[in-house]
Amino acid sequence: MLIYSLGAFYIRRQFGDDALYTSLVQSYVDTLLRSGHNLECFIEGSRSRTGKLLPPKFGILSFILDSIMSGRVEDAIICPVSTQYDKVIETEGYVTELLGVPKKKENLADFLTGGSSVLSLRLGRVDVRFHEPWSLRGFIDEQIARLSKLPSGIDIDWKDTENAVVRQKILRTLGYKVLSDINDVSVVMPTALIGTVLLTLRGRGVGRTELIRRVEWLTDRVRAKGGRVAHYGHAPLADVIERGLDVLGKDLVGVLNDVAEPTYYAVDRFHLSFYRNMTIHLFISEALVAAALYTKVKLGGGAAIQDIPYEDLCDQILFLSSLFRGEFIFPADGLATNLNKTLAGLEADKVIHIQRDGEGKIAKVGLSDAERAAGRENYDFYCFLIWPFVEANWLAAVSLMGLVPPLGSESDIWIQVSKAQNSAQLVIIHSPPLILVLPVSG
């Protein structure tokens, strides 16, 4: 009831085929908007569990869009808001859940008392930013004008299936526009920078001076990719990092003081990965190029041998981006444009060198001499970002081999999805004892 009086309303998580319920919610939204109430909704649908951006949820947006497009409501003003915390809320609960321990039911009491850190206010800094608001009516008109230009004159009859496609298209564009607006105003928090640096380093730990240098470097990279970094006021970077480390706490980042220089190391990589995931979307294209190039780099040999033919590079990038399409949100310009842009950027940063043929087409791509001389620190950074995801997918794929029916069993046996997935987690967790106890089949 408390939540009600704050203006929240409950909706079912799934509507199923319940047409009555759907029209009920629709008229509820209509009424709210017509009488000028503000409506707040979370486009990501849920809190991101791993710190990454989530694709938009279209449910509530679709009701709002319908209110306007049907003409029942004149207009609505959309204001994308980004809310970020220095500390990822409830990571502890998520970590155990992700590792396969059943989720505890959320309840308000836990939320208010020590169950989460929301009200115990150990979130560090909270950053709320607003995008410039815009008219939804204006957006729709713009989209319809744009769409009807493509083939000549689409008749705007929304009952027509043709137009249902158009409506769906507008909904999707709307979802991704809101999300990218949120992205545009959101900032990378110092804790995310620290987490990213700690998880993209070779070696056990990092000295204070080097940590500061890497955070500075990453800040530049984030800005170069059009991202923003939280303002530090007038505090020197060293102090900001010190505060960030405090927020993360010694359970996540340890420090050795009995060495020549205070040296920081990742204590809990799983926890820290949530922080790294907050920057990964900025570098996903570079990371895929790095991972595709790695297929050759890992084979070793002379520098020239490690170059990858452009065709092979494209092939592996296409494969990986398809594999990760539910995992990350990719830039919207399409593969070819984006790949060329990414390669040009990496070439300009002197991370890679590109060999072109007589006609100026890209023939081969490899690590640049400058990057090798610098100890591959840029290249490694991109690889380290994506490797955990490559590994997770590899394990999932390996677990599929376990779905081959045993010899002598019928071929058409169906396995419960959740059990298959649990078993896939088991592949890693319990692997040594199993290898030891099971006889070789035959």
Minimum separation from the CB atom of position 98 to other proteins (A): 5
Nearer to other proteins, 63 or 328 (CB): 328
CA–CA dist 103, 86 (Å, integer): 24
Nearer to other proteins, 107 or 418 (CB): 418
Nearer to other proteins, 7 or 402 (CB): 402
Q: Exposure string (b/e) for 335-355, b if CB count within 10 Å is 16 or more?
A: eeebbeebbebbeeeebbbbe
Minimum separation from the CB atom of position 46 to other proteins (A): 11
Element spanning 325, H or E? none
Q: Which two tokens stand for residue 218?
A: 């990453």
Nearer to other proteins, 242 or 327 (CB): 327
Minimum separation from the CB atom of position 407 to other proteins (A): 4
Minimum separation from the CB atom of position 412 to other proteins (A): 7
Minimum separation from the CB atom of position 36 to other proteins (A): 39
Nearer to other proteins, 97 or 210 (CB): 97
Write down the H helix ranges in 90-149.
91-98, 108-112, 136-149
Bridge partners (DSSP) of residue 81 are: 130
For the chain, the straight-line distance linking the first and the last C-alpha, in angstroms and rounded, comes to 64
**Number of other CB atoms surrounding residue 225 within 10 Å:** 14
Cβ-Cβ contacts under 8 Å for 426 (sequence gap 6 or more): none
| Residue 89 Ramachandran class (φ > 0 left, ψ -120 to 50 alpha, else beta) | beta
Nearer to other proteins, 117 or 295 (CB): 295
Q: Are 58 and 172 in contact (CB under 8 A)?
A: yes
Minimum separation from the CB atom of position 351 to other proteins (A): 17
Q: Which two tokens stand for residue 326?
A: 């539910």
DSSP state at residue 209? H
